[in-house]
Chains A and B, each alone.
Chain A
Amino acid sequence: MKFRKVAALLATAGIGAGVLAGCGGSTGSTTTTTTAASETTSASSANVAAAAAPGVEAGFEEFPVGDDLVLKWDDGELNVAGVYFQPVDLEPSGSGLAAADANFHIEADISAGTNDVGYEIGSYVPQLTVDYEIIPEGSDTPAASGTFMDMNASDGPHYGANVALKEGSGKYKVRFIIKSPAEKGWTLHVDEETGVKGRFWNEPLVAEWDWDYVEQDWNN
Chain B
Amino acid sequence: MLKYFIAVSENLLPVAIIIGLLFAVAGHADKGSRLKGGTGEENEPYVLGSRKQKIFLWAGICAGIAGAIVLACLTQFTRIVKRGYWNIWFMIIALAAMAVYLLFLWGFLRKKAPGFNKTMLGISGAVLAGDMIFYSLPACILFPTEFVLQDESIASTDFLLKFIGLALAFLLAVLTVLAVSKVVKHLQKTLVRVVVSIIWIIAGVSFSGIMIQSMFNRWIKVSGGLFDYSNAVVNNSPLFLTAMFAVGLIFPVVLWPYASSKHEEYKNSAEKRKLKAGTRNKRRWATFMIVLSAISMLTVTVVKAYDEKEVTLSPAEPFELAGEEIHIPVEQISDGHLHRFEYQTSDGIGVRFIVIKKNDVSYGVGLDACDICGETGYYERDGQVVCKLCDVVMNKSTIGFKGGCNPIPLTYTMSEGNMVVQTADLENERQRFK
Contacts and interface: CB of A to CB of B under 8 A. Distances in A.
Contacts of A162: 390
B61 to A, nearest CB: 17
B78 interface: yes
A24 B161 contact: yes
Interface string B281-316: 100110010000000000000000000100000000
A106 to B, nearest CB: 13
Given A89-B149, A168-B234, A218 B83 contact: yes
Contact of B82 (A59, A89, A98, A167): A59
A169 B230 contact: yes
Contacts of B149: 89, 98-100
Given A3-B284, A21-B160, A27-B217, A97 B391 contact: yes
A140 B300 CA distance: 29
B175 to A, nearest CB: 8
Contacts of B405: 94-96
A187 interface: no
Determine the main DSSP class of A at the interface with B: loop
B231 A169 contact: yes
Given A24-B160, A28-B222, A61-B84, A219 B389 contact: no
A197 to B, nearest CB: 30
A143 to B, nearest CB: 12
A219 B182 contact: no
Contact of B222 (A13, A161, A214, A218): A214
Contacts of B79: 55, 57-60
Nearest to B392: A94
Nearest to A94: B392
Nearest to B382: A26
A146 B231 contact: no
B158 interface: yes
A93 B372 contact: no
Interface in B154-179: 156-158, 160-161, 164, 167-168, 171, 175, 178
Given A63-B217, A220-B83, A146 B157 contact: no
B391 A98 contact: yes
B87 A217 contact: yes
Contacts of A59: 75, 78-82
Contacts of B382: 26
B404 A161 contact: no
A118 B317 CA distance: 49
Contacts of B288: 3, 6
Nearest to B231: A169
A39 interface: no
B221 interface: yes
Given A95-B372, A100-B149, A219-B142, A25 B222 contact: no
B188 interface: no
B138 interface: yes
A63 B182 CA distance: 46
Contacts of A156: none
A217 B391 contact: no
A34 B87 CA distance: 40
Contact of B281 (A3, A23, A212): A3
A149 B373 CA distance: 10
Contacts of A57: 79-80
Interface string A23-50: 1111110000000000000000000000
Determine the main DSSP class of B at the interface with A: helix
B389 to A, nearest CB: 7
A215 interface: yes
Contacts of B81: 59
A200 B344 CA distance: 32
Given A17-B164, A146-B389, A216-B84, A98 B150 contact: yes
B115 interface: no
A67 interface: no
Given A61-B82, A170-B235, A97 B11 contact: no
Given A3-B288, A20-B160, A96-B390, A146 B372 contact: yes
A219 B404 CA distance: 27
A123 interface: no
B161 A215 contact: no
Residue among B11, B81, B217, B288 with the most chain A CB within 10 A? B217
Contacts of A166: 308
A111 to B, nearest CB: 22
Contacts of B182: 1
Contacts of A93: 150-151
B161 A169 contact: no
Contacts of B158: 26
B75 A58 contact: no
B157 A214 contact: no
Contacts of A161: 372
Contact of A21 (B82, B161, B221, B376): B161
Nearest to B283: A3
A114 interface: no
A61 B390 CA distance: 24
Contacts of B376: 146
A26 B151 CA distance: 16
A172 to B, nearest CB: 12
Residue among A20, A28, A96 with the most chain B CB within 10 A? A96
7 contacts: A3-B284, A6-B288, A21-B160, A59-B79, A60-B79, A99-B146, A215-B213
Q: Which 5 residue pairs across A and B have the least CB separation, nearest first?
A: A24-B157, A59-B79, A220-B139, A57-B79, A97-B390
Given A59-B75, A95-B404, A217-B83, 6 more contacts: A3-B285, A24-B160, A27-B221, A147-B372, A147-B374, A149-B372
